[in-house]
Amino acid sequence: ARGDSLILMLGVKINFCEHYAPAAQDLMDAGDGETSPLNRLIRVFLEYHAVHADADSMEKTQLNVAFGYLAILLGHLCLHRPIRERFMSIYGKRNLEPLLESIRIFITLHRVTVAAMEGQPTSRPDANAADRLQSLVDQLES
């Protein structure tokens, strides 16, 4: 469905940004106007973060997963100073706190999921993902 496609696309972009540093340059090269892809991603994140709701339905759960992936993508992008500066400019504060908070929440949910799936013979999630995400948070905080 539509939510699955969005999550897949965000996952692919996360992988590119995590393993190929120049991938972030694509978004920077697309400009910095109101309608630039990077500015739109940041605005969507900040708008959703402001009204973030608990997942009480499958649709909201998918939306929250997509939001978590968007936070992770923006986290990787914010490792690059110009993108970090743009995020803080749009956010209006000189910090990445909403982004860091969202990634921390995603880490917690991932760890809960991994713990719940222990001992099950089918599709085991990547147990090291939480450690990689914590490393991302640590880099963003330094």
Q: How confident is the model at residue 74 (pLDDT cuts 50, 70, 90)?
A: very high
pLDDT of residue 80: 93
Q: What is the mean pLDDT of residues 60-80?
A: 90
Q: Are 107 and 130 in contact (CB under 8 A)?
A: yes
Residue 139 CB partners (closer than 8 Å, separation 6+): 79
Please report the DSSP string for 33-56 in residue order: STTSHHHHHHHHHHHHHHT-----
Instruction: Report the distance separating Cα 11 and Cα 117, nearest Å.
Output: 21
Is 120 a residue whose pLDDT tops 80? no
Instruction: Report the distance separating Cα 119 and Cα 124, nearest Å.
Output: 9
Q: What is the mean pLDDT of residues 124-134?
A: 81
Please report the DSSP string for 65-86 in residue order: HHHHHHHHHHHHHTTSHHHHHH
Interval 41-56: pLDDT, tens: 999 999 988 876 555 6
pLDDT of residue 51: 76
The answer to which of 56-60, 91-95, 104-108 has the lowest mean pLDDT is 56-60
Distance linking the first and last C-alpha atoms of the chain: 38
3-state secondary structure at position 141: helix
Q: Are 137 and 111 in contact (CB under 8 A)?
A: no
Q: In the chain, what are the domain boundaries?
A: 2-141
Q: What is the mean pLDDT of residues 47-74?
A: 80
Q: What is the mean pLDDT of residues 2-28?
A: 85
Cβ density class 121-141: b for 16+ within 10 Å, e for less: eeeeeeeebbeebeebbeebe
Instruction: Report the distance separating Cα 83 and Cα 60, nearest Å.
Output: 28
pTM of the full predicted structure?
A: 0.86
> Average pLDDT, whole number, for the chain?
86
